Amino acid sequence: MNSLAADQLFADPRVAQAKRLVLDALADHQRTITTVRPPVTECQATYQQTIEQFNQVRGGDLFYRYLGSGIGNGALVELADGSVKYDMVTGIGVHVLGHSHPALVEAALDAAIRNTVMQGNLQQNTESLALSQMLLEAANRNGAVLDHCFLTTSGAMANENGLKLVFQHKHPANRVLAFDRCFMGRTLALAQITDRPGYRTGLPHTLNVDYVPFFDYTQPKRSTDRAVRTLVRHLECHPGRHAAMCFELVQGEGGYYPGDRGFFVALMEVLTDRGVAVFIDEVQTFGRTTELFAFQHYGLDQYVDLVTIGKLSQVCATLYRARYKPKPGLISQTFTGATASILAAQTIVPTLVEGGHFGPNGRNMQIQRRFADRLDAIAARRPGGLSGPYGIGGMIAFTPFDGRPDKVKRFVSALFDAGVIAFVAGTEPLRVRLLVPVGAITDTDIDAVCTIIEQTLVDTAATIEESTPCS
């Protein structure tokens, strides 16, 4: 026989029939999940006990009392207490197609009949090559020159691998540059770059990091000039010692503040002239702007030396120019991705590209504009309730009240109870961030979410007023 046994298995009509049965069953049960609903009374005691057990086992409390039941319907997710909520944070950006998306369920079923659960550096299947080629082709379509792609299991590992590549290439350079308020991860090395001292309390010093102020949308020219002066001062203070500058093109943990092309170009021209690598961290921005890659959105293709992706891609990756190709052994991993994650990525990327998500008027920007319009209307009706800016594409943010942490945390907790899951970002002010499931959310969902946001603002403001001591 000429065909492989695997090809015969994947084409077996019994497999196709089994997938149809599973997908039909899923669709039937998803029809019961159509709107927000409160917990089921009979489930609440057991659910609370389960939450407490989980808190004990993991050694710390969950941010939310959230344990999923295992099913959802687009932007809606069912919890194990029987409640249904709008998921507007999506695992901090992971579930871009929402919950129980049939195409992802089918990809997982295809993965289940593959020979291995995990693929790794020593043994990978053909789908790892197909995904790597897909990512490189997409990254280079506007003129970038990224030659290699290394898959990995997390955004942190993608960033770690990128750092190792630039340090080996630039040895003995031992410094990196990053933006104020940046977030790059929580490993020993990445916690040193992440501009949150509290995230590295008790950790040993690992890297020398010099910070550059990020773009200020209220003062475009002044903030650009200030950043360039700071960058040049760092480079002149430590000549030849910087291996790379790490760029978040939209600050994630910093508060969902987009940058500006002129700002980035001004910095990248200096870096390129000095031989310092331009390292773009797209673990959060990938797939959420007007282009698949945010560096394409900003027209930075000619400058990028390395780019990392993650979150919505399920399996993560470091893409890099040929000159950063490592010596053997530098970035070898047991696991480079789960088979289900790899097949999911091969489903998600084409779904976004072919589904009209990109371009100035693509679905990503339509979602952002609808949220911004609704939030602006709320701000007009509720003075002091919330304010922008409102992020970009699938990264939505707003500031409730005056952005004081105690008020914002009270608000997001009340929002969760009301049926919308969000998260926080930024400092002074603390902001609410939404990483919406752009591949699943409808305009009706957006309107419903904003209605809940407005009512929760009103309710939270009342509780804050009641708890404020009289002067």
pLDDT at 471 over 90: no
State how far the alpha carbon of 414 is from the alpha carbons of 77, 320, 409, 422, in Å. Answer: 17, 43, 9, 10
In this predicted structure, what is the pLDDT of residue 3? 87
Q: How confident is the model at residue 1 (pLDDT cuts 50, 70, 90)?
A: low
pLDDT at 338 over 90: yes
Spatial CB neighbours of 20, under 8 Å, sequence gap ≥ 6: none
Q: Give the residue carrying structure tokens 């069912």.
A: 78
183-188 contacts at long range (C-beta below 8 A, 24 or more positions apart)? 183/248, 183/251, 183/252, 183/253, 183/254, 184/159, 184/246, 184/248, 184/281, 185/155, 185/156, 185/159, 185/160, 186/156, 187/156, 187/160
Nearest to 284 by CA among 154, 153, 443: 154
State which H helix or E strand residue 251 sits in.
strand 250-251
CA-based R_g, the chain, Å: 23
In this predicted structure, what is the pLDDT of residue 2? 66
In this predicted structure, what is the pLDDT of residue 464? 86
pLDDT digits (tens, 9 = 90+) for 59-76: 999 999 999 999 999 999
Using DSSP bridges, classify how beta strands 84-87 and 337-338 pair: parallel, antiparallel or unpaired: unpaired
**What span, in angstroms and rounded, lies between the C-alpha atoms of 58 and 99?**
25
- What is the rounded average pLDDT for all residues in the chain? 96
**What span, in angstroms and rounded, lies between the C-alpha atoms of 465 and 141?**
54
- 234's tokens: 């760092």
In this predicted structure, what is the pLDDT of residue 465? 76
In this predicted structure, what is the pLDDT of residue 233? 98
Asked if the peptide bond before residue 389 counts as cis, ω within 30 degrees of 0, the response is yes
pLDDT digits (tens, 9 = 90+) for 144-165: 999 999 999 999 999 999 999 9
pLDDT digits (tens, 9 = 90+) for 98-142: 999 999 999 999 999 999 999 998 999 999 999 999 999 999 999
Q: How confident is the model at residue 466 (pLDDT cuts 50, 70, 90)?
A: confident
How much is the pTM?
Answer: 0.95
